[in-house]
Amino acid sequence: MMQNSENTLFGNKLGVVVAGSLTHGIDVRLDGAASVEDMAVGRYVTIKGQKRRFFGMITDVTLGVVDEQINVSPSDASDPFLSEVLSGTSTFGTLHVLPMLTIGAGVVGAEDAPQPVKTIPSHFSPVEVSSQRDVELVFGKEDEEKFFIGTPLDMETKICLNLAEFVKRSNGIFGKSGTGKTFLTRMLLIGMMQKSSAVNLVFDMHSEYGWEGQSENGYKVKALKQLFPDKVAVFTLDEESSRRRKVSTDAVVRIGYDEIEPEDIALLRQTLNLTEAAVQAAYQLARRYSGRKWIQTCLTLENTEETRNVLESLHIHEATFGNLRRGLESIKRLAFLSEKSGENAVDRILKYLDSGMNVVLEFGRYTDLTAYILVANLLSRRIYDQYRERTEKALGENAKPPKALVITIEEAHKFLNPAVANQTIFGTIAREMRKFNVTLLIIDQRPSGIDEEVMSQIGTKITCLLDNERDIDAVLTGVSGKNELRSVLSRLEAKQQVLIFGHSVPMPVVVRTRQYGSAESLKSFGWLGGAEKSKQVEKDIEDLWK
């Protein structure tokens, strides 16, 4: 159904406009020659109005009849001649199209910049499969800022994200388990390294983004450090795990008890099974024991009269203190914690980020949520504070601000659920957008667990298949054409198809994402391995995939 010639703008007629509204979309009656089985939700069509062209997306396909008697007494399906006679006359197909943009006047060669739709085409306006030129006019071509992320359904035209705009806001990747969120995230991280001035800090819960990952089919795929050794540094919480996996690491992270603050414990309330009173007790004890030594003190307090007097003076019930202490004992079992950390992990990470290096922090065997939430929140708060100070200083001195930073977190609903979003640094960053040059890339399979206010601030949403109604509603909150996009989202294939909408694309788009994991796909990412000559490029790729 794809157009063969770009010179024939309207050579693949599908049908004509028969009804519709600006609010609910356009109904298109298919010509008899157009097979309803060739129509796919998510495909682009162009409508030639009298004064302008409309660019839209198919959101539904239905069947209709002229006479309801046909439904009561259907014809003999075994008679192809009768079926052909009825098709297009007594029976027909209908497309529901959501017009998104106008793309110039209704004449061949009009190249006006795409504009939001503010009206609708007239009755009987011809509708056709969008040409490659129309798609490129809307989404642009790959260049220094635009990154090729995939192709439209049934087309080979490249769909590009403007990553320079992408990093200016917090963004999200959503989808049920097994839909390829990790592969998609790797691809976007590569794009950001190539097409934007931002640096990335990735909290890698399952050690899949740094050195290498594994597909669901069991084969290994190269991750960021192997592909871009001069642009990526791998930090680890678990040196033994890294050594066993033969991962080349740049630093080992240790965190001291003296670095943990009550705010870090508050975020762990659910995973440590703490009561609200126990969380408040943490703040009181931190003030009582000079802040930085409060955890060691709490863990060493004996059941003595003196201890009971201290708790009584702070109005802390013994049962509340016992609940807090059990939670702190759980944290104590994490081997990367010590009384004093030695080298400051925040300063080390910032040193790499300032030099333009992207940092991936692998968690090794510490894949439980307690370790992940504690470390991600603790480091992010301190790094954000540094960015805030530097940005404010740069404004005061009319100097250059720090490099834009994108923080990638998995299991985002644990940091951004309604109960804690207002208390966490991640909620602050999401609401502030890029106020201090820090944004988020959140990855989650349960978007319904994320606070609505935070979801409303997400600039671009890249959504794989979701089959939970609440999750679909959460992703589409506040989006124009929500009901129509719901139909598109629920019909995505389980792998390698995503719906993208938001700040970095001019309109919602369904794409089949680029492949990740083969030598051919690596070459398509433009990886040079530090070499500029084509022969050296080929050799590097060949060596990498031996």
Q: Are 514 and 148 in contact, with CB atoms under 8 Å apart?
A: yes
Q: Specify the pLDDT at position 521.
A: 63
522 CB-near residues (< 8 Å, 6+ apart): 222, 227, 541, 544, 545
Number of helices followed by number of strands (H, E) in the chain:
22, 23
* CA–CA distance, 418 with 413 (Å, rounded to integer): 9
Q: Specify the pLDDT at position 409.
A: 96
- Please identify every stretch of the chain with a pLDDT value under 70, giving residue numbers as ranges: 1-11, 67, 69-89, 105-112, 215-218, 291-292, 517-546
Length of the chain: 546
Q: Specify the pLDDT at position 258.
A: 86
| Paired tokens of 465 | 């298949």
163-239+356-524 has which CATH code? 3.40.50.300
Q: Specify the pLDDT at position 518.
A: 61
Q: Specify the pLDDT at position 7.
A: 36
- At 492, give phi and psi (nearest 5°): -65, 150
Q: What are the boundaries of each domain within the chain?
A: 13-139, 163-239+356-524, 257-337
pTM, to two decimals: 0.85
